[in-house]
Structure 1
């Protein structure tokens, strides 16, 4: 039985519907109204009221509804936040992709400008696939410029991939211009430069693959007979005897103009400079390209004047 209301009663008729008439345990022979279970006596209102444990002044009947609203609001806010982040990341990815595509087009324009044979701009992924991520099994050799790897392109073409040393200070545009110029040099005795890659940490040049040994093997084959002389020594001797043009391919000299012969001679002197034994005496690739540009510009000017 609940708390006592303090109201005396002779029978149940003396109590309301929320209380029950019963003997007072503290006073013999006295009957009082006791609040039914779950109810307690409210002396302010003078009735048996529900036993409320909620301390919220506004009541607790809507607590579950409030929690539901709060949960929905939090979930909606989180969804909006995630959506905003996703949109931002998508736009950022799109901007980066568009910038890369634009840069690739600009680089291809540099490579293809002014030449009859277009150079290819290889991606870093293509180069890594071709060399099995620069595996040592693909390494052909190393020199002052860097390392050379044998590679197989996706279409099955075998190539020689020349990888500059780390820390190479050549800028991307400089490498592209060098490739553009070198791709215009076309001769059956020269290794063909196919293109380059400027996506990776160091510049990379891609040449056609020649199976008959390296240039050094051809220039300095000391296993020849005593009466034979390696090509580098022979060229130097002919230059000392002022007979440098005697070692130029006859097909090049045939029907050549005076200006063309002078250009060949100038290029021959430049080539001999590249055969210097000490590396510090040899011109850099940048200097070679600049010299070739200078020689060709003089030849062009003379042709125009004539």
Structure 2
């Protein structure tokens, strides 16, 4: 076989340049449809949230111009005398939310720990479904339940607080007659304490769901190592699960707090309207921003409507800030970045 000059000039197989095929990150087919749909949904949420904030801010401009900073320091809400402020309802909003979280936090934490670490495998799915169904119950149902069944017992508990812990301002009811043989229950009902009980039932499932989800992501190897070293179940929970889920506990509590600040119907049904700052949580009367808007929105004039929307803007910014911080904490806890 003869070799020609053209054969010598032709590149041999070992000398052929092999170029790597470029890898494209662009989605195609069903992946592209899903990715674009997710972008549209995410952008829509941001647009809607921003639109709500801009709308409330625009509608609140006349109120801020008319009342200035006094809108935040005035307690009374009396449109007839041109006296409008949210100091009392703002304090009442945090009082109801505080009572709700004091009750809901230990219940949510204990429930989440039991479901994730103690409940039998066959029972876990049922318990998860029951807790999730609690979040689907309308707030008016919780309000009626507390109003008709819980309030008399809560009033008796408030009387006990006044008698034994009345030296604390949060439990003292001026003129409550707690020492009389038959104290008036009406003076101890319809309070921030009773309203907080109703709100706690609504926010507990949310906090429990977040905590349970974070607890379930605890590395099983660390849990098994703790048990292998002789730790009891509670010892393993205390040294492994709780430190790992610390961010989830904080985030879930903050998310529930954000919802507690905005609960409306149950609070409006239970809390007797009163526009003054009260140190006592068990004293009759009070108001929150959401219940104020619900009670006054129907018959509000244009000026009053602007004031109500200004109050709504304040509540919107507070809940948005709390939920944003909670989301940041929860996202960090999922990777274990917030644990030792």
**Interval of TM-score (by shorter of Structure 1 and Structure 2):** under 0.3
- Name the structure with the higher helix share: 2
TM-score by length of 1: 0.22
- Name the structure with the higher strand share: 1
Question: Which protein, 1 or 2, shows the higher relative CO under an 8 Å CA cutoff with sep ≥ 6?
Answer: 2
Larger radius of gyration: 1
